């Protein structure tokens, strides 16, 4: 539905306004009845268009840590994807020079922020889950004397998310969801979110032990194995290809390349 109209302007039209008082928004949404609007996925933008902070986690699945050649660290490997790289669930991304790779990821949106959030309370600080791609240009990421994760993963359109944010109560088990991606129909990654090294509550606890989390923040939680840079021969995205990324209980996003 059009939340701004249905709530008489109490929430929206800016989607970010829902995160300022998520509990009140949920309470209102539970009771509202509205004829709704016709929804075209192709017209949707990212469900969280302007997150104050975007955290992204590297090597957070055991098999991916193996293929990438990194042993797990005692702290989650954390970088940012600059918010200007966000795009919606049916987007065309112009490939920059270099080797652009895919990374399907579960993306967490924070509702109530906080510092030092205990693991046991972490799910109560989460507005919902969505599908994301952590598109990555591997030459810039890995070629220098120091890694350049944040820059190499923030070209325009390098952070597709969507198609919507699904609140945690909608999942039978939000900690164990099938996650996969395919390129022109060929399955490239296929795993379950229960295989994370640092699971979602642990990420919220460990990130918030250092940084204050804010309403509307996003956490890209890491990718399973099957990236192009770890294949023999290596494989990267080409103009004209279509990448489909899927998470059980959320849906799929489609990213086209030009």
Binding site for Zn ion (CB under 5 A): 103, 134, 223
Q: Which residues share a beta bridge with 245?
A: 181, 253
Q: How far is the CB of 142 from Zn ion (least distance, A)?
A: 13
With CB atoms as reference, the residue minimizing the distance to Zn ion is 134
Q: How far is the CB of 58 from Zn ion (least distance, A)?
A: 6
Q: How far is the CB of 91 from Zn ion (least distance, A)?
A: 17
Q: How far is the CB of 104 from Zn ion (least distance, A)?
A: 9
Q: Rounded to whole angstroms, how far apart are CA atoms 116 and 204? A: 9
The conformational region for residue 143 under phi > 0 = left, psi -120 to 50 = alpha, else beta, is: alpha
Q: How far is the CB of 56 from Zn ion (least distance, A)?
A: 6
Q: How far is the CB of 23 from Zn ion (least distance, A)?
A: 30
Q: Rounded to whole angstroms, how far apart are CA atoms 233 and 207? A: 36
Q: How far is the CB of 103 from Zn ion (least distance, A)?
A: 4
Residue 175: half-sphere exposure toward Cβ, Cα within 13 Å: 11
Residue placing its CB nearer to Zn ion in the complex, 141 or 223: 223
Residue placing its CB nearer to Zn ion in the complex, 90 or 134: 134
Q: Rounded to whole angstroms, how far apart are CA atoms 140 and 155? A: 11
Under a CB-based contact definition with an 8 Å cutoff, are residues 168 and 201 in contact?
no
- The H or E element spanning position 138 is helix 138-143
Under a CB-based contact definition with an 8 Å cutoff, are residues 30 and 182 in contact?
no
Residue 94 φ/ψ, nearest 5 degrees: -80, 120
Virtual torsion, Cα 224, 226, 227, 233, nearest 10 deg: 160
Residue placing its CB nearer to Zn ion in the complex, 7 or 229: 229
Residue placing its CB nearer to Zn ion in the complex, 7 or 221: 221
Residue 31: half-sphere exposure toward Cβ, Cα within 13 Å: 5
Q: How far is CA 26 from CA 30, 53, 128, 155, 181, in A?
A: 6, 22, 11, 34, 31
């Amino acid at each position: 539905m059009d939340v701004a109209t249905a709530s008489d302007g109490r929430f929206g039209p800016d989607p970010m306004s829902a995160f300022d008082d998520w509990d009140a928004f949920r309470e209102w949404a539970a009771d509202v009845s509205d004829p709704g609007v016709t929804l075209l996925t192709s017209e949707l933008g990212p469900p969280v268009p302007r997150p104050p902070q975007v955290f992204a986690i590297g090597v957070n699945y055991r098999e991916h840590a193996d293929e990438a050649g990194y042993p797990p660290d005692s702290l989650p490997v954390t970088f940012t994807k600059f918010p200007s790289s966000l795009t919606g669930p049916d987007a065309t991304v112009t490939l920059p020079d270099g080797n652009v790779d895919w990374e399907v990821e579960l993306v967490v949106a924070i509702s109530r922020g906080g510092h030092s959030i205990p693991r046991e309370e972490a799910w109560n600080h989460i507005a919902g889950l969505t599908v994301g791609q952590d598109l990555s240009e591997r030459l810039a990421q890995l070629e220098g004397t120091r890694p350049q994760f944040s820059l190499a993963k923030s070209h325009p359109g390098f952070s597709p998310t969507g198609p919507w944010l699904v609140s945690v109560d909608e999942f039978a088990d939000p900690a164990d969801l099938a996650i996969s991606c395919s390129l022109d129909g060929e399955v490239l990654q296929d795993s379950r979110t229960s295989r994370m090294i640092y699971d979602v509550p642990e990420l919220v606890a460990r990130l918030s032990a250092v940084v204050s989390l804010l309403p509307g923040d996003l956490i890209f939680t890491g990718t399973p194995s099957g990236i192009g840079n770890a294949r023999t021969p290596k494989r990267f995205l080409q103009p004209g290809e279509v990448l489909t990324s899927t998470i059980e209980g959320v849906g799929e996003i489609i990213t086209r390349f030009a």
